Structure 1
């Protein structure tokens, strides 16, 4: 019975993902075709300006751009079902072939930023609660607020100007030097500035929420009872309060994936970091329809899966909490 229930839940989530991805693809496909601009400019470049009307019509026919919208979508969808996302108009190569090597770069940057953001957020929240209303707490709150409201584009530009242009300490663009893709040290040097921007833009947002949850927890009756028995504030905070708010932190981490993903896209644009974020911007700019669809579907899949995961985590947490309450009664 348990295996059957798990299979039913998994099947429900798979169907939900498929339906949401389908409607996302329909929406983006229609909107991209309705946007102003000519995709032939992406494929032929400046040669489009010298083409006659007949040549333009022939070019649109060769690329399938003169067919009705529903016919274009049907052709695209049938190709996707076979693992073919079409040819990139800008790069004149299969879209998946162009995007494949860049997905790893984005996962490295996004994964490192995600881990750093929450590690520092939890650490900052614990320090603020441990030294509540002290100069340490006030300084962290002020610095975190300033960093959160500082525009990422401006901060990134300033970091490049100081550490790359003037001091020559760190590279200001790219994911690695030419031919050094396998050099871990070189990759880490290229990650420093983008990670600083991403962490600065996100860490206090989550640290503040975790801090508020911990402050609510340290004011509960069991904490006052533990303190009256002689337990230190630090011990109670680490062994009891943090453990009790940990399920909420896990849920927060699950729903934060779209937020961190958007920050990755911004960092890739600022630092010219070769990833799917930078590729998404260029595909939208040059009306590279097939590449844009691939980028949106990848991002949409990550967001939808993370949202479903967050819902599942919340359901597990709620069921355990209800079970604990019934057991206590």
Structure 2
């Protein structure tokens, strides 16, 4: 297993390296004036000499490859560059916004899959009944509601017509340590996240459980007098658990992208909101750092799922070459 993990970490570093090159080049080729993020409207009043001096000060006057070599060499010293918009180290800005995304993303991630498993078991238990059919139809309709449209409707109802919940922000000023205040700001984004993703994963888990209930061991368990609910939870669910974990690992990108959209709709100060701002203002260093961080998280989820699958299901073995099989 140690060798397997080392191999995956090597692939991770290689992927991050190539991702950094692609993002660096694309960000530099995008149209717009990056000096606006740092100097604001003062750029319009700069002379040609002052404009060139500003580019030199920020290291933007060099060719792409020299800029990249400087940037990647500074990374090894812990320097990810300065944010042009916030005029602070990019890593500090990322960390200051990261907590809000972690709170929203992690809570929605747990609720989506927790509720998806419960709903899937419920649908399988009442398979082909009117209740199951109604839930399936309703879930399909809700799933196709655009998340940004749902967010705007919720803001209109619960923040404007019935002023119960805030429209933006992660907490009120000076109340960042108040859990209930944070939850109040997070409630509408959480509703959108759950509604947008719940049925998709419920349907997948439902289908996996239905296939499992068709197997011979289920008939044997019923013949022994075990209840249908007991069989579903203690046998069928246990056997499809590795598949669910795979789904959870793959869904990291799905839910993460959903978090970005929700943060934009509700002006929730997280990584998604920050990425839009950094792209808008050509904040190169911050944008690259956000993309690399997101890619790193996605790969870590996938790697963790594979390792956990090995521990849960002994039938799954690490892939080995024919030479390794002969040696064993």
TM (norm. structure 2) is 0.93
Shift of 1:306: 1.4
How much is the aligned-residue C-alpha RMSD, in angstroms? 1.6
Shift of 1:238: 1.8
Alignment: residue pair count: 318
Of 73, 83, 88, which residue of structure 2 is paired with 1:88? 83
Shift of 1:52: 2.2
Shift of 1:314: 4.6
Task: Give the 3-state SS of the residue equivalent to 2:109 in structure 1.
Answer: helix
Matched, 1:271 2:266: yes
Farther-moved stretch of structure 1 (44-53 vs 33-42):
44-53
Farther-moved stretch of structure 1 (216-225 vs 111-120):
216-225
Residues 9, 222 of structure 1: alpha-carbon distance in 2 compared, 3 angstrom cutoff: closer
Contact kept, 8 Å, 2:249 with 2:301, in 1: the verdict is: yes
Matched, 1:118 2:120: no
**1:43: which partner in 2?**
38
Task: Give the 3-state SS of the residue equivalent to 1:99 in structure 2.
Answer: helix
**2:7: which partner in 1?**
12
Matched, 1:238 2:220: no
Shift of 1:272: 0.5
Matched, 1:71 2:66: yes
Farther-moved stretch of structure 1 (33-42 vs 247-256):
247-256
How is 1:148-159 mapped onto 2 (pairs within 5 angstroms)? Answer: 148-159=143-154
Of 108, 112, 119, which residue of structure 1 is paired with 2:103? 108
**1:283: which partner in 2?**
278
Contact kept, 8 Å, 2:245 with 2:309, in 1: the verdict is: no
CA distance in 1, matches of 2:151, 2:230: 39
**1:21: which partner in 2?**
16
CA distance in 2, matches of 1:34, 1:250: 39
Contact kept, 8 Å, 2:124 with 2:210, in 1: the verdict is: yes
**1:201: which partner in 2?**
196
**2:28: which partner in 1?**
33
How is 1:155-174 mapped onto 2 (pairs within 5 angstroms)? Answer: 155-174=150-169
CA distance in 1, matches of 2:6, 2:166: 47
CA distance in 2, matches of 1:260, 1:253: 10
Residues 56, 182 of structure 1: alpha-carbon distance in 2 compared, 3 angstrom cutoff: same
Matched, 1:145 2:176: no
Farther-moved stretch of structure 1 (310-319 vs 154-163):
310-319
Shift of 1:95: 0.9
Unaligned runs of 5+ in 2: 319-328
Contact kept, 8 Å, 1:251 with 1:313, in 2: the verdict is: no
Shift of 1:100: 1.3
CA distance in 2, matches of 1:173, 1:79: 36
CA distance in 1, matches of 2:141, 2:49: 58
Matched, 1:252 2:252: no
CA offsets 1:264-312 (integer angstroms, 9 cap, x no match): 1111111111111100011011100011011111101101111222333
Contact kept, 8 Å, 1:124 with 1:140, in 2: the verdict is: no
